[in-house]
Amino acid sequence: MHTNRRFFFWLQIAFVLGLGVGGLNFYLSYQNLERTSESRSQMQKSEQVIGALDGLLGDVIDAQNGVRGYIIAGRDEFLEPYLNSTHSINGNMQQIQALLAGNASQPERFAAVEKQIEEQFEQMKRTIEARREQGFEAAAKLV
């Protein structure tokens, strides 16, 4: 009888320990699921930022190509990509700023990118004006 009691005592301890281990496993699994969900959300946001940056880069390249075509040919229809890009770039920049708003370091880095893009567009604007007012040679010197 004494052996039976001891057996049931150890059986109860094993059961309680099993419940504890099972509970710990459940808790850790839940935490892992939460982290996975957060990681997936961050990854999706990163993909959106990359897509918006890709669109921004495409707009800058289109604008540069349009300006080069205008400098060479001197025809206003070559400025169409430049003009379209000036409008769409602002929307892309706002979208990127909104996506980066919760990140501490990225808005600061993106501000540097914005500044470079603004400087490039100012340079393109000066080049267009030089081509219109002074001709090909003056504009070619600015490129």
Residue with tokens 């052996």: 3
pLDDT at residue 107 in the model: 81
pLDDT band at 45 (very low <50, low <70, confident <90, very high): confident
Find the mean pLDDT for residues 123-127: 94
pLDDT at residue 102 in the model: 79
Q: Provide the token pair at 84.
A: 């379209």
CA distance 36 to 38: 5
Cβ proximity of 121 and 66 under 8 Å: no
pLDDT at residue 15 in the model: 87
Q: Is the pLDDT of residue 3 over 80?
A: no
Q: What is the pLDDT of residues 53-107, one digit of tens each?
A: 999 999 999 999 999 999 999 999 999 999 999 888 988 888 888 888 877 778 8
Q: What are the distances in angstroms from CA 39 to CA 34, 67, 102, 104, 137?
A: 9, 42, 15, 17, 54
b/e sequence 113-143, b meaning 16+ C-beta within 10 Å? ebeebeeebeebeebbebbeeeeeeebeeee
Its pTM stands at 0.72
pLDDT at residue 131 in the model: 92
What type of residue is 135? G
102 vs 126, which has greater pLDDT?
Answer: 126
CA distance 127 to 38: 47
* Percent of the chain whose pLDDT exceeds 70: 99
Q: Is the pLDDT of residue 32 over 70?
A: yes
Q: How far is CA 48 from the centre of its chain?
A: 6
pLDDT at residue 1 in the model: 58
Cβ proximity of 127 and 67 under 8 Å: yes
